[in-house]
Amino acid sequence: MACTAGSKILENYRPAYDASVVRKLRECGAIIVGKTNLDEFGMGSTTEGSAYQVTANPWDLECVPGGSSGGSAAAVSARQCVVSLGSDTGGSVRQPASFCGVVGLKPTYGRVSRYGLVAYASSLDVIGCFGTTVADAGILLQAISGHDKLDATSSKRDVNDFTSQFISKDYFESQPLKGLRVGVLSETIGDGVDKEVVSSIRGAISHLEELGSTVTEVSLPSFSLGLPAYYVLASSESSSNLSRYDGVRYGNQIVSDELSSLYGGSRANGFGPEVKRRILMGTYALSAGYYDAYYKRAQQVRTVVQKSFKEALDVYDILISPAAPSAAYKIGEKKNDPLAMYAGDIMTVNVNLAGLPALVLPCGFVENGTSRLPVGFQMIGAAFDEEKLLRVGHIFEQTLQGCSFIPPIIADEFKC
Ligand code: GLN
């Protein structure tokens, strides 16, 4: 199959090998039914940045599915496949999971091999899982986790049996989450967050309390610093990673009899506007004279963010926030406003800076004129403690009454 990463520069590019995750899935007997749409090289939050298509949200075809891995989320939401993979550099599995009403799981950095993943920002990139249930996402994670000698950043830690965390409702005690300490990030449920999103999150919090957990609000003062630091670091790393697309080693080549215009012309022709913007921002941040003010500073902020999450997770078992400040919005609404688009990543980017695992689960809806759109909440766990997230998430979804997260057009078609 062609591997385009949503970019014209890789149109018709056929990779010579499978990514390790794909190889592992095939070895388990999985059938790969297709590849899905995404924002070019993972840069975006809607799939509108794809050089090929815009994916529609199955809940409202006029709305975006989220992104960048919006095609993978929409495919699971529309029941076109049982599970799917996406990449999450700053939220690209979790935000589309929330927009499409499916489960999205971002593993700890290093849990899953990145060998064969098209690189965006290598210190942040992870491959994540979509499913309609926590169990499906967990089974998929089990299949793709573990050390890979082809990726030196993949962890050598043992991979436990995640499925042992799944207890059927029939065996629950009256308070199955008794003893669980939950911290709600206060910065994520205040100003700038859609009111209906906040009330869905509050509903999820009450549900966790009913299940026996102790919920406390916790403030992370460094929270808002994550977004600018992420954009400096992600752009910087991408400007380096994308230098391989020069029209010679990879990608479409323009006709030219001179080397530098061959490079320049192939890139000018092959990259879309958002990718060019990131390369320019990243190159600027890394250039002599600006390096200390931007890149180094952002790295310092990253250390502060990591430390504050570590401290909070020493006290709480899991931390809670919305997965995005709003539900899905209309196609075209933010396309020409990159800063508004970047601001929508506020809930997810800190988790990548800290390398932590996080699980997004559908928990409610917002009314959007003619349609209802799903809302997801995010649970953040300690590094390599995916098991706890899966256990809590599995109990949560089995006990959430009165919510069906099947998009109406799909429910009508299958009469469910
Ligand atoms: N929306 C974010 C960005 O554009 C995150 C993308 C991602 O996780 N791939 O960088």
Q: Which atom of ligand 1 is nearest to the CA of 45?
A: 1
With cut-offs at 50, 70 and 90, classify the pLDDT of residue 172: confident
- CB of 397 sitting under 6 A from ligand 1: no
Find where tokens 């409202």 sit: 60
Torsions phi, psi of 84, nearest 5? -150, 165
State the CB neighbour count (10 A cutoff) for residue 385: 16
pLDDT at 401: 78
Average pLDDT over residues 50-75: 98
> Tokens at residue 292, please?
């200390």
Secondary structure (3-state) at 207: helix
pLDDT at 231: 98
By 3-state DSSP, what share of the chain in percent is helix, strand and coil, each rounded to 5? 40, 15, 45
Dist CA 220 CA 199 (whole Å) = 21
Average pLDDT over residues 354-371: 94
Dist CA 32 CA 111 (whole Å) = 22
- CB of 104 sitting under 6 A from ligand 1: no
pLDDT at 369: 82
pLDDT at 400: 87
- CB of 107 sitting under 6 A from ligand 1: no
As for how many domains the chain has, the answer is 1
Q: Is the CB of residue 43 less than 8 Å from the CB of residue 140?
A: no
CATH of the domain at 363: 3.90.1300.10
Dist CA 223 CA 325 (whole Å) = 14
| Residues designated as active site | 68, 92
- Going from the C-alpha of 390 to that of each of 76, 88, 387, 395, the distances in angstroms are 19, 18, 5, 9
Q: Is the CB of residue 81 less than 8 Å from the CB of residue 354?
A: no
- CB of 378 sitting under 6 A from ligand 1: no
Work out whether the CA dihedral 149, 68, 368, 217 comes out positive or negative.
positive
- CB of 87 sitting under 6 A from ligand 1: yes
Torsions phi, psi of 371, nearest 5? -125, 165
pLDDT at 413: 82
- Within a domain: residue 35? yes
Residue 320's nearest CA partner among 206, 227, 413 is 206
Pairing of strands 318-322, 181-185: parallel
CA of 179 to the centre of ligand 1 (A): 35
- Considering only residues 189 and 412, tell me which one the structure prediction assigns the higher pLDDT: 189
- Going from the C-alpha of 286 to that of each of 296, 298, 375, the distances in angstroms are 9, 11, 37
Q: Whose CA is nearest to atom 5 of ligand 1?
A: 90
In the chain, the percentage of residues whose pLDDT exceeds 90 is 93
With cut-offs at 50, 70 and 90, classify the pLDDT of residue 45: very high
Which residue type occupies 58? P
pLDDT at 383: 98
State the CB neighbour count (10 A cutoff) for residue 301: 19
- Within a domain: residue 369? yes
Average pLDDT over residues 118-147: 98
- Within a domain: residue 1? no
- Within a domain: residue 395? yes
Torsions phi, psi of 274, nearest 5? -70, -40
Q: Is the CB of residue 112 less than 8 Å from the CB of residue 125?
A: no
Q: Is the CB of residue 321 less than 8 Å from the CB of residue 380?
A: yes
- Within a domain: residue 134? yes
In the chain, the percentage of residues whose pLDDT exceeds 70 is 100
CA of 262 to the centre of ligand 1 (A): 29
- Within a domain: residue 288? yes
- CB of 44 sitting under 6 A from ligand 1: yes
Residue 211 has pLDDT above 90, yes or no: yes
DSSP 328: -
pLDDT at 394: 96
Name the residue of 36, 37, 38, 39 to mutate for ligand 1: max ligand atoms within 8 A of Cβ: 39
CA of 40 to the centre of ligand 1 (A): 10
Average pLDDT over residues 348-363: 98
Q: Which atom of ligand 1 is nearest to the CA of 88?
A: 8
The string of pLDDT tens digits covering residues 87-97 is 999 999 999 99
Which residue type occupies 149? K
Identify the domain containing residue 363 by its residue range. Answer: 8-415
With cut-offs at 50, 70 and 90, classify the pLDDT of residue 416: low
- Going from the C-alpha of 127 to that of each of 90, 115, 116, the distances in angstroms are 11, 10, 11
CA of 320 to the centre of ligand 1 (A): 20
* Residues found in the chain: 416
Secondary structure (3-state) at 160: coil
Residue 164's nearest CA partner among 392, 391, 416, 401 is 391
- Within a domain: residue 3? no
Q: Is the pTM of this model over 0.95?
A: yes
Dist CA 297 CA 356 (whole Å) = 21
pLDDT at 201: 97
Torsions phi, psi of 223, nearest 5? -55, -45
Residue 391 has pLDDT above 80, yes or no: yes
pLDDT at 17: 96
- CB of 91 sitting under 6 A from ligand 1: yes
Least confident piece of the model among 2-6, 166-170, 402-406:
402-406
**185-200: burial string, b at 16+ Cβ within 10 Å, e else:** bebbbeeebeebbbeb
Which residue type occupies 16? A
Residue 346's nearest CA partner among 173, 124, 189 is 189
pLDDT at 250: 84
Dist CA 71 CA 64 (whole Å) = 10
- Within a domain: residue 18? yes
CA of 175 to the centre of ligand 1 (A): 37
Q: Which atom of ligand 1 is nearest to the CA of 69?
A: 9
pLDDT at 279: 98
> Tokens at residue 23, please?
């190889």
The string of pLDDT tens digits covering residues 278-331 is 999 999 999 999 999 999 999 999 999 999 999 999 999 999 999 999 999 999
- CB of 234 sitting under 6 A from ligand 1: yes
